[in-house]
Structure 1
Amino acid sequence: MGELARPRTSGLSSIIKAYDVRGVVPDEWDEHVARRIGAAFAEFVHAESGATAVVTAHDMRDSSVPLSRAFAEGVLSRGVDVVEAGLGSTDLLYFAAGSLDVPGAMFTASHNPAQYNGIKLCRAGAAPIGQDSGLVTIREWAEHDSYERVPTRTASIGQRDLLAEYAAHLRGLVDLSGIRPLRVVVDAGNGMGGHTVPVVLAGLPLDVVPMYFELDGSFPHHEANPLDPANLVDLQEAMRRERADIGLAFDGDADRVFVVDENGDPVSPSAITALVAVRELAKGRGTTVIHNLITSRAVPEIVREHGGEPVRTRVGHSFIKAEMARTDAVFGGEHSAHYYFRDFWRADTGMLAAMHVLAALGEQSRPLSELTAAYSRYAASGEINSTVADATGRTAAVRELFEGEGGTVDELDGLTVELADGSWFNLRASNTEPLLRLNVEAPDAARMVALRDRILEVVRA
C-alpha cells in the first residue's frame, strides 16, 4: 500500500471502540496501524504490570495473519516477547492469557462481514481492557508513536499450539462422558467453531453433524452472526432434517453460542443464562450471578429461587467482568449470548456454555424444549433497531409518555421503564451508529406486542 493511501493513525478514534479495535481493512486500518497499536499495547502492559511477554491468536480472515504479525513486530520493538498461539477462537486467547498469565491480543472482527477485522485486548489473566480501562491510553500512545523508555532487552517471538490444552481445561470443567447419546448439529458459520469444536467434543457420546466447518473468512454461506434470525435458518432446517436433539450456532470468533431445540426453535439466551446459573449455583462454591439489564426478569427470579444473589449490570463485557471481580460471582450472562465463568478467568466462552447445555440435556431424558421451558417465563421482543436522527429527543419523548402513566424509570444503561402490569422495556442508543435499540418483555405475547408497537410509534415518529 502506498504511503498516501495508508490509514492515518491520527484517526484511531474511529476504529478503537468501547471494548476493542474494529474497522474495515485496509480502508480504516492496515499493518502499519497494527504495528503502532502493538508497540503501544506492549508499552502499556509493561508500564502497568512489568509484563515482558504477550500472547496473540487470530481467526480465519485473510487479513488476520498479516495484521497479527505486524502487531507482533510492534510488540517486539518495545522489548516485549510474543507468544503466537496461531489459529484460535477468542475464548482460546482468553485461555492463553489466563493459563500463561500474560496479556493477550486476539485478531478478529467476530460477527462482522469479511472486509472488517479487529483486535480484542486483555491483561494477564484475561482481565479486560476497555475504553475506561486502558484503550484510550493505548490509542493515544499509538497515535504519537513516541516513547521515553528505552528497551533494555532483546525480545523474541515463538509459537505455541494451545488447542489441546484449551480443550482439556474445558472438559475438566464439564464432564460429558456419562451423558446419554445426543445428536448435535453445529453451525460454525465458517468461523472458528469449525477449528475448536472437533477437538473439544471428540470422543464424547455425541453424534456431531457439522455445518460450515471449513474456515473461510469470506463467509460464503451466511454471516457468522447468529443474533440475526436469518443466519439461523440453515441450522433450523438441518435440525428438522437430521432429527437432532440440539443445535448450536457459533459466531465468527466462537465466543458466543446460540442454541436451537429439537423443533428448530431458538432458545433465548436468557433461558440459557438461567439454566447455566442453576448448574453453577449447585456446585456450592458461590452465590452471586451477574446478568445485564436486558436479560429476562426470569433470570433474577430463578437465581433467587436456587439460593443465589442476582446482580444487575450495564450491557458490555467490561462491566460484566468488573462486577464479577468485585462480587466474586460464579457466572454471568447477557442477552447477546455472551456467557462468563469464574472458572474461566471471568471471561466469556461460548464453548463452555454449550457444554453446560449439552450436560443438562444429556443428564435427563426430556427433550430440550421441555427442559428449557421452565426457564422461559415471559414474552420478549428481542432487540429491535431503529435508525433515528435524534436519539436523545426520541428517548426523551418515550420517557415523558410513560412517566406520565406511572412507569418506574431508571437510567443504568439507556432508559429502562417498568410498568405496573409487570411489563418492562429498555431503550438504548448505539455507541457507534445512529440507532436506538429496543427490548421489550411482558407477561404474555399480546401485551408485549402492544407495548412494543406503541414505543416504536414514538421512536419512529
Structure 2
Amino acid sequence: MDLSCFKAYDLRGRVPDQLDPELANLIGRAYVDVTGAKNVVVGYDIRLSSPDIAEALRAGLIAAGADVFDIGLCGTEQVYFATSHYGMDGGIMVTASHNPKDHNGMKLVGPESRPISSDTGLNAIRDRVREPFQDAPVLGRVKHLAVAQDYVQHLLGYIDAAALRPMKLVVNAGNGGAGAVIDALEPHLPFEFVRLHHQPDGEFPNGVPNPLLEENRAVTAQAVVREQAAMGIAWDGDYDRCFFFDETGRFIEGYYIVGLLADQFLRKAGGGKVIHDPRLTWNTLDLVRQAGGEPVESKTGHAFIKQRMRDEDAIYGGEMSAHHYFRDFAYCDSGMIPWLLVAERLCQSGQTLSSLIDARIDAYPASGEINRTIDRPAAVIEAIEHLYRNKAERISYVDGLSMEFSRWRFNLRMSNTEPVVRLNVEARGDVELMREKTAELLAQMERLNTLAA
C-alpha cells in the first residue's frame, strides 16, 4: 500500500495514486482506533475530489464506532473552531491547501484542536492503516453541524465594531473557500468589498490559490490601485493564511505583519507573551517589547508554535510565512482574524497601511526568504558557521543556524522535504548592508556547494 501521502504534519498527495476514497476510509478507521475519539468533526475544501474523499472518510469513522459531525464545505480553521468550540474529541479537514488541483490531503487534530503530527499520533495512524479492520459492534452516525453563525460571531469578537469606519477593501479568494466567509461577515461590517476570483471553483481557473507566488499577486495589486482601496487581502485555498497589499498595491512581507499584529494584540491585552519564529526577529522583538509584551522564540512550524503557545499561555503567535495563531482560537491559525485586526488598526489610527509598514521596513530591512538548491546542505551550513563564527555576537540553533552581529543577522535552515537551504537576512536601519550581506552569503553558499560536490 502506498502511504507516501503521510507527511510530518499532515497528509498530502496526488489523487488517486497517492490518496483515494479507499485509503480515506482506512484513515478514518485508523484515526478512531489510535485516538479513541467518539465525536469527530469533518469538513472539506473546494477541490473536486474533496466530497468523495470526505464521504469515504466519514464512512470509515462511523464503521469504527465514532459519531461524525459533518460541517461540509469550509476552511481549515472552521474545523479547528468546531472541534474546540463544541468540545469534540477531534477533527479532520480534507484539504491540500495551495497544492496543485490534482492533489488532496488531510489535516488532523485531537481534543481542543491539538495538532496530530508524526510524533503525536500521525505515524501510529499510518502504521495502523496497514493492518486489517473489523467494524465496531455499534456503528457511529453522521450528524450535520451548522457552525457558520457561531464562527462569524467569534471572529467579530476580536474587533471593536464601534471603532470601524467605511473603507474599501479588495478581497481575492483565489477561487478557494474564503469568499463565503467574506459574504457572511459583510452585513456586520461597514466595509465595501471589491471581490476578485470570489466563487469557489476546484478547477482553479485563475491558477492555484497561493499568493506567495509572484505571478499570483498582480491581479490583487492592480485592483487595489484601480479601485483606490485602503488595502488588499488574498488567501490560499483553505484560507488558513492571508496576505496583505497596502494602498499602493505593494505586497507586504509576512514578517512585518507579525509585528503589526503583535503590537495590536498587546495594546488590547495590556501585555502578554508573543511567540515568533527564528528566521527574522528584530522587528518583532522591538515592537513586542515597546508594547509591554514578552517575545518567545519557537522553532518554525505550526505544531511547534501551537505547543509553545500552550506552554507559555501566549496571546498571539506569528510566522513570516503568513500563519497567525491566537490563544482564543484554540491556539490555532486563522486567515480571517488577521485582516480584521489590521482593518481595525487602520480605522483606529487613521493611518494608511503603507505608513504603518514603511517605518518598520526602514528600521529593519529584510531580504525575505531566499531558497537555494544545495547538494549537501548540512555541510554547507556548518561551513558558513565556521566562516562567520569569530565575528558573531550571538549564535542560536533553535531552528537551523541563526547568527547575529552588531548591525545585521541571518538565519540558514534546511528544508525537511528537499535539498534546499532557506536564507533570511536583516539589518538595523541599513538596506544597503542587508543587500550586501545577502549577496555575500549567497556567493559563499554557491562556492561551498561547488566544493562539497
TM-score > 0.5, shorter chain as reference: yes
Is 2:130 the counterpart of 1:135? no
Deviations 1:250-303 (A, max 9, x none): 111101111111011122322222222222222336511111112331101111
Counterpart CA distance in 2 for 1:236 and 1:71 is: 39
1:40 aligns with 2:30: yes
Deviation at 1:152, TM superposition (A): 4.2
Q: Are residues 451 and 145 of structure 1, via their aligned partners in 2, closer, same or farther at CA, if it must alter by over 3 Å?
A: farther
Which runs of structure 2 are paired with 1:312-351 in the superposition (5 Å)?
312-351=297-336
Aligned to 1:276: 261
Whether contact under 8 Å (1:40, 1:145) holds in the other structure is no
The aligned counterpart of 2:396 is 410
Say yes or no: does 1:186 pair with 2:171.
yes
Structure 1 segment 25-424 matched on structure 2, within 5 A: 25-46=15-36, 51-102=37-88, 103-146=90-133, 151-284=136-269, 287-376=272-361, 377-406=363-392, 408-421=394-407, 423-424=408-409
After superposition, the C-alpha distances for 1:330-365 in whole angstroms (9 at most, x for unaligned) are 111000011111111111001011100010111232
Shift of 1:197: 1.5
- Aligned letter for 1:142? V
Distance 1:26 1:59, change over 3 A: same
Letter in 2 for 1:16: F
Corresponding residue SS for 1:249: strand
| Distance in 1, Cα, partners of 2:267 & 2:392 | 39
One-letter code of the match for 1:273? V
Q: Is the 8 A contact 2:309 2:331 kept in 1?
A: yes
The Cα shift of 1:177 comes to 4.7
Distance in structure 2 (CA, Å) of the matches to 1:200 and 1:348: 19
Moved more, 289-298 or 405-414: 405-414
Query: Is the contact made by 1:289 and 1:329 (CA closer than 8 Å) also made in structure 2?
Result: yes
Q: 1:382 is aligned with what amino acid?
A: G
Q: The residue matched to 1:395 in structure 2 has which SS?
A: helix
Q: Secondary structure at the match of 2:19?
A: coil
Residue 222 of structure 1: how far off its partner (Å): 2.8
Structure 2 segments unaligned to the other structure (5+ residues): 448-453
Aligned counterpart for 1:436 among listed residues 407, 421, 425: 421
In 2, the alpha carbon distance for the partners of 1:450 and 1:235 equals 31
1:18 aligns with 2:8: yes
Partner of 1:363: helix, strand, or coil? Answer: helix
Stretch of structure 1 that moved more, 181-190 or 151-160? 151-160
What is the alpha-carbon distance in structure 2 between the residues aligned to residue 438 and residue 146 of structure 1? 46
RMSD value over aligned CA atoms? 1.7
CA distance in 1, matches of 2:67, 2:25: 14
**CA offsets, 1:192-250, max 9 Å, x none?**
11222111233411010000011112222133111223221111111111110010011
Identical pairs, percent: 38
Distance 1:27 1:398 in 2: 41
Q: Alignment partner of 1:409: what SS?
A: strand
Q: Secondary structure at the match of 1:350?
A: coil
1:10-66 Cα offsets, whole Å, 9 max, x none, are x42x221111111111121211111111111112221xxxx3110011110011111
Q: What are the superposed Cα offsets for residues 148-202 of structure 1, whole Å, 9 maximum, x if unpaired? A: xx73432101222212221111112223354121100001111111222111233
| Structure 1: distance between partners of 2:251 and 2:202 | 25
Could you tell me whether the CA contact under 8 Å between 1:295 and 1:334 is conserved in 2? no
Is the CA contact (8 Å cut-off) linking 2:280 and 2:424 kept in structure 1? no
Task: List alignment gaps of at least 5 residues for structure 1.
Answer: 1-7
Quote the Cα distance in structure 1 between the aligned partners of 2:427 and 2:54: 46
Q: Counterpart of 2:420 in structure 1: which amino acid?
A: L
AA of the residue aligned to 1:230: E
- Who is 1:4 aligned against? none
Q: Read off the aligned partner of 2:385 and give its amino acid letter.
A: R
CA distance in 1, matches of 2:328, 2:179: 24
Paired residue type of 2:116: I
Which residue in the other structure is 1:5 paired with? none
Deviations 1:110-131 (A, max 9, x none): 1111111110111122111112
Q: Which amino acid aligns with 1:76?
A: I
TM (normalized to structure 1)?
Answer: 0.93
Matched to 2:67, the amino acid is D
State which drifts further: 90-99 or 405-414.
Answer: 405-414
TM-score, with structure 2 as normaliser: 0.94
Q: After superposing the two structures, state which structure 1 stretch, 27-36 or 310-319, moved more.
A: 27-36
